[in-house]
Structure 1
Amino acid sequence: MFGALSSSSLTSDKHGYSMKTTQKSPEAGSSPPVKHLLDEPATVTTIDTLYKELYNVACLSDEEIWTSGFDSTMKLYSINQGSLLKSIRTKSGIIPSNIAVTKSGDLVYTDYRDRTVDIVKNEKIEEVIRLQNWKPKSVCITSSGDLLVIMNSNDDKQTKVVCYSGSTEKQTIQFDDKGKPLYSPSSHYLRDMYITENKNLDICVSDNGAKAVVVVNQAGKLRFRYTGHTPAPNNQSFSPRGITTDSQSHILISDYNNDCVHIIDQDGQFLRYIDCGVCYPRGLCTDTYDNLFVAQLLNKEVKKIKYLK
């Protein structure tokens, strides 16, 4: 099921950032039409979510987005109208750590304090996973429909990624080939760690504690770590938050300190920044047309940005 990874080496580019590179991973399925980056990304629309603080965004469709923030209620908004369509309160009444949408359109969320991953079906909440010695943080849906869940140990000293088919654990990713932790520990339920699967089946984790994006192949073998690019827009240290990918296997990472989004290719090479007036960006997602949605923490707005031709 899992492919082998070639040997890796440490390189440094002309801009001075280092990363561990490997031979390219094979692409999954047929190649999509090639799209090029726009010279100037542009904001298409802005949706005001009315949260006290906005954390996450997930596309239900090209017309609707789910959001979550400093509130136990997850909200569905119309992208074009900016109107609130639906609200769902978490079963525990606790703020959800992260949200995702399944291929069938069901909302999934992680409840850090309740130690569960839950799914909303027909506006009813069902428990999918309940953990004992671990606490779930972020979740994403893979191309095969599995769940990838980032979780912390109860003592907050360990972090791992677990793949589930339904409630059945299929794979755990925690250590590199030398037995060292791939991910930093996290001591707070809202400390940012986000996860996504790339089109080539790489698993990409935005690890704010390590100030890095950690990318492994589908077998869990380290491909590279991306630690930012200089000069940064605000000349601040790299502070990765939300992460998503697009049809071109680009990896997009929100940088909280620098009020921008980094675009890197599937092998970790920096391509460009997107700013578009982004302020304190957190969660990210892309729709089927490769529009980018950016959740902004303090102004509680989601920006829809066009960045590909």
Structure 2
Amino acid sequence: MLQERSHKEVRENIIEQGTYLHQELEKIIQNHLKEAKKIEEEDLSILGKQISDMKSILSEIQKITKENQNLLKTKTIKNVLKHESENERFPEVQKLIELSPPSFVSQRIPQEALSQLFGTLTCSVRRETRHYLIPSATNLRSKREGLRIPEIIRTWRTGLKVSPKISCCLESDDCYVRSSSTIKQFSATGNELNVTKLKSESHFLIDITVSKNNTLFYSDNRDRSVNFVKNNTIKTLITLDGWKPLAICSSSTGDILVSMQTDDEKQSKVVRYSGTTVSQEIQYKDISTPLYSNPLFICENTNFDICISDWDKNSVEVVDSDGEFIFSYEGNRALTKYKDKFNPRGLACDSLSHILITDFLNNLVHIIDHNGHFLRFIDNCNLHCPQDVSVSRDNKLYLVENSKEELKVISYLV
């Protein structure tokens, strides 16, 4: 996948850069030639003036010499005694300007340095993405094909109800649900498999995600950390300074995406971590316009787009893998039949690159495509304050609601 950067565009960019550098180099050459011409004209002017002055002085000297010669020829003592020397009239003859010719010192730039100045050509990025088998009746020629009337196929009690978060495993049928300081692992049939008690007692500012190798990660807003659970032991991956983590997501590349906010809540961004190393930061739509205000939920699409549910902006902001803004989704006009404005919370992406967004105040889920086009609502499953969602590897929607100890599994694809 070339992600909107074709080989043709790369070649055109190289040619454009070459043309630009040729033009800039020609400007430099012309400026040097112009400066050399200016120096030449100034030197010639100085030398011309000196020659003119010398000719004038020489003419005066020749005139005086002739007069002196005529005086000697007269052999008149009276005229000789009246003669006065005029040598002191010409002291300036000794004041000549010596000119050394100009020089040009060329700088030989090594080919490696020139290549670095020209630019860098990176190789194509080849990354595996997940593809799921959809029943053959699915046909995507129309945006709505592949979707059907949603229905609840399973429910079970989790015992967790305060601002719950949910994350399905990528390589198994299990899922994790977090509430307060407890994370529970469930099988696809609702059997409780494991319980992890967290060190923090935060009821709200903790998010969870499961990596490709089924490692559980969670963010802790109180101590500014991102942690992982291994053999029922909690270990800290990173600790932030001046920033607090809000939401986390495991990328298909194995990286961890973390949305975060400064302590004074004036700046927000998304940071990609490869292990403990920062490999990318996404903060601005353009040079000065912030992308995010309060990014409390995050997920990655199967085409590597990064989707953020922004609490303060009441919108979903989507950028590509390079951090370039794609679109902002602010609800659908059909919301007029519901009680409140668009109020997005949790969001998830399925194998068809649909983005599913919980609408907390309107008790429904929006389904949009990867370009931000609205497809349909899930509004027939008796939802009440839907808080968070996740999509399983077989494209089932797992949904948890605020203040309800219930997990709902919804089928919505053909």
The TM-score normalised by the length of structure 2 is 0.64
Contact 2:161 2:401 in 1 (8 A): no
* Shift in Å, 1:31: 7.0
- Higher mean C-alpha deviation, range 260-269 or range 37-46: 37-46
Distance 2:402 2:159 in 1: 11
Indicate yes or no: 2:388 matched with 1:280: no
* Shift in Å, 1:39: 3.0
* Shift in Å, 1:178: 3.7
Read off the aligned partner of 2:197 and give its amino acid letter: R
Contact 2:130 2:351 in 1 (8 A): no
1:204 alignment counterpart: 307
* Shift in Å, 1:150: 0.4
2:200 alignment counterpart: 92
The structure having more radius of gyration, on CA atoms, is 2
Distance 2:201 2:296 in 1: 22
Distance 1:87 1:31 in 2: 30
* Shift in Å, 1:76: 1.2
* Shift in Å, 1:290: 0.4
Distance 2:357 2:378 in 1: 10
Distance 1:30 1:123 in 2: 28
Matches within 5 A, 1:1-309: 35=138, 36-60=145-169, 63-69=173-179, 71-80=180-189, 82-95=190-203, 97-184=206-293, 186=294, 193-232=296-335, 234-275=338-379, 276-309=381-414
* Shift in Å, 1:145: 0.5
Contact 1:263 1:273 in 2 (8 A): yes
Would the alpha carbon gap of residues 118 and 30 (structure 1) be closer, same or farther in structure 2, given more than 3 Å must change?
closer
Read off the aligned partner of 2:175 and give its amino acid letter: I
Contact 2:173 2:392 in 1 (8 A): no
Distance 1:259 1:68 in 2: 21
The count of corresponding residues between Structure 1 and Structure 2 is 281
Distance 1:128 1:153 in 2: 19
Would the alpha carbon gap of residues 120 and 29 (structure 1) be closer, same or farther in structure 2, given more than 3 Å must change?
closer
Read off the aligned partner of 1:130 and give its amino acid letter: T
- Higher mean C-alpha deviation, range 170-179 or range 246-255: 170-179
Distance 1:266 1:3 in 2: 13
* Shift in Å, 1:29: 5.5
1:12 alignment counterpart: none
Contact 1:285 1:294 in 2 (8 A): yes
RMSD between aligned alpha carbons? 2.3
Answer 1 or 2: higher relative contact order, Cα 8 Å, separation at least 6. Answer: 1
1:9 alignment counterpart: none
* Shift in Å, 1:179: 1.4
Distance 1:206 1:283 in 2: 11
Distance 1:105 1:165 in 2: 17
- Higher mean C-alpha deviation, range 231-240 or range 210-219: 231-240
Structure 1 unaligned regions, length at least 5:
7-26, 187-191
SS, match of residue 139 in structure 1: strand
* Shift in Å, 1:94: 3.7
Read off the aligned partner of 2:370 and give its amino acid letter: Q
* Shift in Å, 1:3: 5.4
The TM-score normalised by the length of structure 1 is 0.85
2:116 alignment counterpart: none
Contact 1:150 1:161 in 2 (8 A): yes
Distance 1:135 1:30 in 2: 31
SS, match of residue 334 in structure 2: coil
